Structure 1
Amino acid sequence: MTVKKLFSCLCPSLIPSRETTLFYLLGMLIALYMLAGAAIFSFLERPAELKAHQVWDRRLRKFSHEYNISCEDLKSLLRQYEEARTAGIRTERGRALWDIPGAFYFVGTVVSTIGFGVTAPSTTTGKVLLVFYGLLGCSATILFFNLFLERAITLLSLLIFWGHTKRFRQSEPEARADEGNGGERWKPSVYQVTLMLFITVLLVACGAASLYSAMEGWTYFESLYFCFVAFSTVGFGDFVSGQRKHHEDIQVYQVANCLLMLLGVCCTYSLFNAMSVIIKRGLDWILRALDSMYNNLRDCRLQFRLQFGPSETTISCDDDTTRGQQLQITPSPTHSIMWNSSVPSAIGKCLCGEAKVETVCHRNH
């Protein structure tokens, strides 16, 4: 074992920090979560996709045979129709897409990052403009979401604190002192705030689903599905509200649809932020558990060495600069490093206390 390799093992500057380890752990868990989701959805949806392809091929051949049209000409017509859908052409005439209300609905889906995909610019100028328009609009909307989150958490904290003091006002004398001090001794936990946000999102989604079920002709389950897809800004585009022709004459529904979208996205964004704090705490717990396992394993190895092996290891150095010197490494059970808690202040400075290195010079007489 060389001296260079020894110092690379002992120096904590080569070990990632705790935050970096947390980042790697989160990335690995997200990758595993995505792989598990891909496997589940592939198992559920792949048979339906294959069946749909088979049904479509049979219908295409049947239509081509009955009306004496070649399959290539029919496919060419269908490709042209797919291109026309971008401009708003539908088999059943819907509402206008690029009048002022339709364009306002489009820019709302852009700045909120929902992006249903039903409406998209077809001109080159519109596509170029959308890049800069979305860059500024999405940034401003995210700022608005953050400000909404601060006020929502403040309001929920006041409601939870009011309920806490009211519950314990008669039985707990400390509750009165807390109330007199403005609640400095007691604050709601992130779990309570997350629960309140979840209930709020659920109430908004259920209320919006009732409206969409009545106005769009969807089932209640389809309406709830649309609410989650829209409020979470996923925006698949399989269900889109307010696109029927008769919706142009219902101004109240158009306004209510925009307000529900805004409220739902803001509440869901706040819920996601609160849940991310809980996930980070879970990752911290995993790191603490790994750290505890690492320390226990290291203590067991150290006890085994102290009982069954020499307590001091001597390594000879053959380098010209250290010829005639020996490195003596004495294990120290008082400290262990699994990752750095901070960045070293000086490059090359070893902050490791895991082992004590003593240099003993031997002169040849």
Structure 2
Amino acid sequence: QVLLQQYFDMTQIYLTTRATAPDDDHSNWNFMGSLYFCFTVITTIGYGTYTPNTEAGRLFCIFYALVGIPSFVVMATIISESILNTVRLVMKDCILEGVERGWLKMTPRYSISTLSLCTLAVFVTFFVLSWAGAFSIYNGWSYLDSVYFGIVTVTTIGFGDMVPEGSQLIAVEHLLYMCYFVFGLISMGTLITAVQKKVVEIQARHNKQNGGKDTRCDTPGTLQRMAYIQQLKTGQIYESSIRIQEQPKPDAEGSTRHTVDEAYSESDYESSTPASIAEGEVDIELIATKGETDMDEMQS
């Protein structure tokens, strides 16, 4: 108990000394302070506690921001997409494993994206709340203020009304805050990406149910089908190199293959629209080509 009491007394003395220590602008610009400043710039948080005071420093900040911010956005986007894809694969494997073992019933296809979104939301919430507890203990803030600081940080709002103790931060504190910046922003970015994909999915499903055009650009096969029809109309693809099926029915010999003229006439080409193609009324599959040599001869 004596050792514990001494530890708390030393901690209280340290926090009091740090709070009352004179603020020296030059003390910000050691290596860790400069690195901390760079992180607040490229993440666009910008608390305002670390700012350049010279013209050379401000000029450097301009060019550093113009290069660093896009680079960080690209990096965060790539990492967020990778994390989201990994979470979806894990959810899919878990669902399939549960179905095979009889633990789960067969679920709709959209459940994977829903489960992924919920998982990410729970993780981000836990991440912010757990770090808020650490901020509350270390900085002497209330828990609500710590949550407020955490949300303002990971959303890059960065009001600056509640910030770490600027010039009095030590190296370990700088590292901890920078880790929170990076992991918090990437986690929030992954969650936002998942929400965006879910909204697009719901909108596409709603449009399809109402008979509208599926506006998703990544619909498998849609662009290929449109390209094949256009190339067939302009003579860039041999008719014998594709099979077009429009609700095929077995013929007298039991075959479901149709010729181009039987399945899709030239007048159908002219009257076709991207909307009907996107709705899957016509399914075109490239099954063979006559080789690059024949294609070059045809184009020439």
The one of 63, 79, 82 equivalent to 1:132 is 63
Matches within 5 A, 1:146-295: 146-171=77-102, 189-243=112-166, 245=168, 247-248=169-170, 251-281=171-201
Deviation digits for residues 62-99 of structure 1 (CA, Å, limit 9, x no counterpart): xxxxxxxxxxxxxxxxxxxxxxxxxxxx9963473222
Matches within 5 A, 1:21-36: none
The one of 107, 117, 127 equivalent to 2:38 is 107
Kept in 2: contact 1:111–1:134 (CA 8 A): yes
Kept in 2: contact 1:231–1:264 (CA 8 A): yes
Which one has more relative contact order, counting CA pairs under 8 Å at least 6 apart? 1
Q: Secondary structure at the match of 1:115?
A: coil
Bigger CA radius of gyration: 1
Quickly say closer, same or farther: Cα 1:91–1:242, change in 2 above 3 A. closer
How far residue 255 of structure 1 moved from its aligned partner, in angstroms, is 1.8
Kept in 2: contact 1:161–1:188 (CA 8 A): no
Kept in 2: contact 1:161–1:187 (CA 8 A): no
Please tell me the residue identity of whatever aligns with 1:276.
Q
How far residue 117 of structure 1 moved from its aligned partner, in angstroms, is 2.0
How far residue 134 of structure 1 moved from its aligned partner, in angstroms, is 0.9
Kept in 1: contact 2:91–2:112 (CA 8 A): no
Tell me, in whole angstroms, the C-alpha distance in 1 between the residues paired with 2:275 and 2:20: 62
How far residue 188 of structure 1 moved from its aligned partner, in angstroms, is 5.9
Tell me, in whole angstroms, the C-alpha distance in 1 between the residues paired with 2:69 and 2:210: 39
Kept in 1: contact 2:41–2:69 (CA 8 A): yes
Quickly say closer, same or farther: Cα 1:170–1:237, change in 2 above 3 A. same
Tell me, in whole angstroms, the C-alpha distance in 1 between the residues paired with 2:84 and 2:53: 41
The one of 86, 93, 99 equivalent to 2:22 is 93
Tell me, in whole angstroms, the C-alpha distance in 1 between the residues paired with 2:206 and 2:86: 32
Deviation digits for residues 213-262 of structure 1 (CA, Å, limit 9, x no counterpart): 111111111111111110111111111125262x32xx433322211221
Q: Secondary structure at the match of 2:166?
A: coil
Quickly say closer, same or farther: Cα 1:221–1:173, change in 2 above 3 A. closer
Tell me, in whole angstroms, the C-alpha distance in 2 between the residues paired with 1:173 and 1:288: 29
Q: Which moved more, 1:270-279 or 1:128-137?
A: 270-279
Kept in 2: contact 1:160–1:188 (CA 8 A): no
Quickly say closer, same or farther: Cα 1:264–1:172, change in 2 above 3 A. closer
Tell me, in whole angstroms, the C-alpha distance in 1 between the residues paired with 2:40 and 2:103: 50
How far residue 142 of structure 1 moved from its aligned partner, in angstroms, is 1.1
The TM-score with structure 2 as length reference comes to 0.56
Percent identical among aligned pairs is: 22
- Could you list the runs of 5+ residues in structure 1 that have no partner in the other structure? 1-89, 176-184, 293-339, 343-365
Quickly say closer, same or farther: Cα 1:218–1:94, change in 2 above 3 A. farther
The one of 96, 116, 123 equivalent to 2:47 is 116
Tell me, in whole angstroms, the C-alpha distance in 1 between the residues paired with 2:206 and 2:149: 35
Quickly say closer, same or farther: Cα 1:126–1:287, change in 2 above 3 A. farther
Give aligned pairs, total: 194
Please tell me the residue identity of whatever aligns with 2:54.
T
Give the aligned CA root-mean-square deviation in angstroms. 3.4
The TM-score with structure 1 as length reference comes to 0.47
How far residue 148 of structure 1 moved from its aligned partner, in angstroms, is 1.1
Kept in 2: contact 1:112–1:138 (CA 8 A): yes
